[in-house]
Amino acid sequence: MCMKKHDNRGDINPCCFTCCPEKKFITDKLCCDFVSAAGTTTIFTGDLSVGCDIVASGSIKNCGTATLTVTFLRGVSSGGTGGTPVRTVMIPAGGCVTFTVSRFDAITVSGGTADVPVPGEICIIQRFRVS
C-alpha cells in the first residue's frame, strides 16, 4: 500500500508517495506542417544525445486526399537513416490520430506521390527525464 511521504516537519505531503518517487521532466512542444511526397519524409528527429529516453504525446493530422503512413522509429543513426519501427499508424485522408509513444527518436511519414502529395500537421510534446 502506498503511504504518503512526511516532510521535514513530520507533516504529510499530499503530492508525494513513498512508492512513487517524484520524477522531473523537461517538456518541449513543437507544432508544424509537413508534406509527404514521393518516398519517406522524416517529420521529427529527437535529440539523439539523450538516446531513446523520450516520451511524447501529440497529434498528427492528414490534410490530404490519400492515406498517410506514420512510423515511429528507434535507433536512427546520426545521419538520419535506419532504425527499428516502434509503432506504425495509418491515417486515412482527412483523418487524425493522437499518440503517446516512448523510446523512439524519429517519426517518418509516407503515402504521398510526386503527383499527389499529402500535406499534414504534427503537434508533439516531448518529455525528457532530468537526472
Which residues form the domain of 126? 24-130
Q: What is the mean pLDDT of residues 45-52?
A: 64
Per-residue pLDDT tens over the stretch 54-75: 789 999 999 999 999 999 998 8
Per-residue pLDDT tens over the stretch 81-106: 788 999 999 999 999 999 999 888 89
- Cβ-based neighbours of 62, under 8 Å, separated by 6 or more: 68, 91, 92, 93, 94, 95, 96, 118, 120
Q: Is the pLDDT of residue 19 over 90?
A: no
d(CA 80, CA 45): 8
CATH number of the domain bearing residue 70: 2.60.120.1330
Q: Classify residue 63: in a domain, yes or no.
A: yes
pTM listed for this prediction:
0.77
Count the domains in the chain: 1
Q: Classify residue 120: in a domain, yes or no.
A: yes
Q: Classify residue 11: in a domain, yes or no.
A: no
